Amino acid sequence: MGKDSSAVCVASGGLDSTVAATIAKQEGYRLHLLHASYGQMAKDREIEAVRRIAEYLGAELVFVDLSFLKSFGRSALTDPSIDLPLDEEVELDAVSTPRTWVPCRNLVLLSVAASFAESIEASAIFVGFNAEEAQSYPDNRPAFVEAFNRTLENAVASFTPDITVKAPLIAMFKRDIVRKGVEVGAPLELTWSCYLSGEVHCGRCEACQHRKRGFMEAGIEDVTVYAGYEDSMGR
């Protein structure tokens, strides 16, 4: 990798993508954070978070509008008529895709990221895909990354540098990601995980449950404020 190599980091404003972007910076890439709005209920809080994260990392920040995904419906993240799972036990061995699935979101998002990467001659796309989400979401699995990278070989111009999707957290669970984040100096306190857009994390949705459990199992202090709980660990 040359000293001027750029990386596009798909950034939601959450823990996983922030740790992945921090790893990219540690590896010497010049960062371009790419944040997508697709009609998600947490849009405003995600944008606030990703702005702070970009400033912390010294990264360029680019926004893309994928709101057409909301018009397709079928996701509790974008359609208020579909109940968002709350207060449900998070299953580590889930075999069915939950109703928080947004149809082909990561396929669409990586395609946009690849287009952006080609336009700025970036050599890498960093994503926060991980083993915990992979148990429920097929587009977080190694097979998806491998297949997309094979597709990229035939999807960019011959004069464009090779582009590779990198998923440094692909084998990690949330506790491992929290520990890795502390190790690389990621701004975990700036991140937003909640599926909702309240003043503080709801503490009840699947993403909040993953976050709380990750910090607890990692043995790392969680400074996140959760609504309706007496302390930051949700007790």
- Binding residues, as ranges, are 11-21, 194, 202, 205, 208
Nearest C-alpha neighbor of 34 from the set 121, 123, 126, 107: 126
- Give the tokens for residue 178: 């929290």
Residues flagged as binding site for Zn(2+): 194, 202, 205, 208
Distance CA 152, CA 157 (A): 10
Beta strands in the chain (DSSP E): 6-10, 30-37, 60-65, 124-126, 164-166
Query: Cα–Cα distance between 201 and 71 in angstroms, integer?
Result: 26
DSSP type of residue 112:
H
β 124-126/164-166 pair status: parallel
Task: With CA atoms as reference, report the closest residue to 116 among 13, 36, 20.
Answer: 36
What's the token pair of residue 74?
């079928």
Residues placed in the known binding site for ATP: 11-21
What token pair was written down for 123?
């050599």
Residue found by looking up tokens 């209920």 in the block? 41
- Amino acid 51 reads R
